Amino acid sequence: MKQEVVLGSTGAGSYQYQLPALMNALLGTKFKIILGFKSVNEENVAMERGEIHGRGGTIISWEITQPHWVKENKIAHLVQIGSKPVKGFENVPLVQDLTTNPDHKKAFLLIGASAQLGRSLVGTPGIPPDRAKAIRAAFEKGMKDPEILAQAKAWKLDLDPISGEDMEQTVNAILDTPQPVVDLVRKTLNIKSKQAK
């Protein structure tokens, strides 16, 4: 909020651009976003060289690409997106909690939904409710399976699955986003509407 912070981004369509751009517009942060990096690894090298101060990333991507940065506290997590904090990062604020404006909260939740939906498992439309319920129950059981948990531990992944019901609530919240909030996000991020003219 007080000084410029330079962030890298792979492009204007990524959350690495969208979140800080929305924060600049709605919260008054001073992020300078450098577009055009080809990968997060290229951004990591730029951070090591001091060319940028940081980048957006998932907890998993940090733990896979730069595990020593996480283990040795060489990076500071400024803010997170999504409907709830990531397990183990409860002290990092959710971006929507940094504003009291209800429309701005909804705008951040709309952008943050990608964090939850980006790695979802989905089925085809029209799955009978009893089958959907059985598939969801099997998934939840699988996420508690000792063999799966052991493999995740070997890969140094912390499983924190989201239930199908919670995913459905996220989708419904996106669909129920008031048009003025959608317009605010589109205008702020210069996203053109794809509606027929």
Q: Does any domain span residue 75?
A: yes
Q: Does any domain span residue 135?
A: no
Q: Whole-model pTM above 0.75?
A: yes
96-100, 108-112, 145-149, 189-193: which range is least confident on average? Answer: 189-193
For residue 102, the number of C-alpha atoms closer than 13 Å in the C-beta half-sphere is: 3
Q: What's the number of domains the chain is made of?
A: 1
Instruction: Pull the structure tokens for residue 96.
Output: 């929507």
pLDDT mean over 76-100: 89
Q: Which domain holds residue 86?
A: 5-120+162-189
Q: Does any domain span residue 111?
A: yes
Kindly tell me the burial class for residue 9, based on how many C-beta atoms sit within 10 Å of its own C-beta (0-12, 13-18, 19 or more): buried
Q: Does any domain span residue 153?
A: no
Q: Does any domain span residue 65?
A: yes
Q: Does any domain span residue 197?
A: no
Q: Does any domain span residue 128?
A: no
Write the CATH number for 32. 3.40.190.10
11-44: pLDDT as tens digits? 888 889 999 999 999 999 999 999 999 998 899 9
Q: Does any domain span residue 147?
A: no
